[in-house]
Structure 1
Amino acid sequence: MTKISVSAIGLLFVTTTLAAAHDEKALMNEPAGDPYVQVSDVLPLPEFIPGLGTLFVDPATLPAGPFLAYDRDGQLSATIYMTPLDDLQNGVSFDGLGLGSHTVSSTDVYFNAGHPGVEKPHAHVVLFHDEGAKERLAE
């Protein structure tokens, strides 16, 4: 578990320092626009996933993402990374990952056994962009 935590902290540092190259305002409301696609349009997943929201991803950045998570009102609420555990254990780095918003109010890291799109067991690293984001994504 310590390896996952250290990796997640490193991932957070890298993403917050290298992700300044996009137009943050353009991502604040869904749809995210090119090159992002709505995950539920390309995978057998619901449009809104409780706890994660409506997800958009650039297919070229899979499996790690970033996945942009929007609440039911279409507001960007979180940026999510899905990093396969076996990749991390084998020394794969996920460098230069994008960020939906440079404002981060809290971060959750947890295990996921796999699902369509990221089938391998992986860590979800969820960066919430404001104080109420976690609650809005849960609804």
Structure 2
Amino acid sequence: MTKAFALAAGLLAVTALPTLAHEKEALAQIPPGAPYVRVSETLPLPDYLPGLGTLFVDPATLPAGPFLGYDLDGNLSATIYMTPLEELQNGTSYDNLHVGNHNVSSVDIYYNAGHPGVEAPHAHVVLFHDAEARERLAE
């Protein structure tokens, strides 16, 4: 039984790794592809938001996201979540949210009073994917 479990776990890991690598590769640069859309093409927001970058989101995952933030060179630099405070206070959980890249060097969490697309007051949770990402996105 233990051998069968180990074999099944090993097969799952071997088949999942290429998928994860492919997804990471597909999201690494603009455009990330379907189902992601450029936020500035669907909402009245600028194409580039200092601190967050050029944002893409799968509309089905709104309002939480993930929003994928790309730097001025088109490289994925951050994954951003926008979680409405009222929903959190009422007990809404956002579970198993996707990540644009599993490498995370730091995380910022801050309040936002609302903007087109997520009008209600919410928290921005920003996962930076490398040590220089915050600096690149600040440009």
Fold-level match, TM-score > 0.5?
A: yes
The aligned residue for residue 54 of structure 2 is 54
**Structure 2 Cα separation of the partners of residues 32 and 120 of structure 1:** 27
Give the greater-gyration-radius structure (CA). 2
Aligned Cα root-mean-square deviation (Å): 1.1
**Structure 2 Cα separation of the partners of residues 109 and 32 of structure 1:** 24
In structure 2, give the amino acid aligned to 1:107. Answer: V
**Structure 2 Cα separation of the partners of residues 94 and 83 of structure 1:** 8
**Structure 2 Cα separation of the partners of residues 126 and 31 of structure 1:** 20
In structure 2, give the amino acid aligned to 1:38. Answer: R
SS of the residue 2:124 aligns to: strand
Q: Mapping of 1:45-84 within 5 angstroms?
A: 45-84=45-84
**Structure 1 Cα separation of the partners of residues 96 and 39 of structure 2:** 21
Cα deviations by residue, 1:52-108 (Å, 9 ceiling, x for unpaired): 100000000000000000000000000000000000000000111110000000000
Q: Relative contact order (C-alpha < 8 Å, sep 6+): which is higher?
A: 1
TM-score, with structure 2 as normaliser? 0.84
The aligned residue for residue 105 of structure 1 is 105
Q: Tell me, which stretches of 5 or more residues in structure 1 are unaligned?
A: 1-19
Regions of 4+ moved over 2 Å: none
Q: Tell me, which stretches of 5 or more residues in structure 2 are unaligned?
A: 1-16
In structure 2, give the amino acid aligned to 1:85. Answer: L
The aligned residue for residue 125 of structure 1 is 125
In structure 1, give the amino acid aligned to 2:42. Answer: V
The number of residue pairs the alignment matches comes to 120
The aligned residue for residue 92 of structure 2 is 92
The aligned residue for residue 40 of structure 1 is 40
In structure 1, give the amino acid aligned to 2:119. Answer: E
In structure 1, give the amino acid aligned to 2:45. Answer: L
Cα deviation for residue 25 of structure 1 reads: 1.1
Cα deviations by residue, 1:103-130 (Å, 9 ceiling, x for unpaired): 0000000000000000000000000000
**Structure 2 Cα separation of the partners of residues 64 and 133 of structure 1:** 21
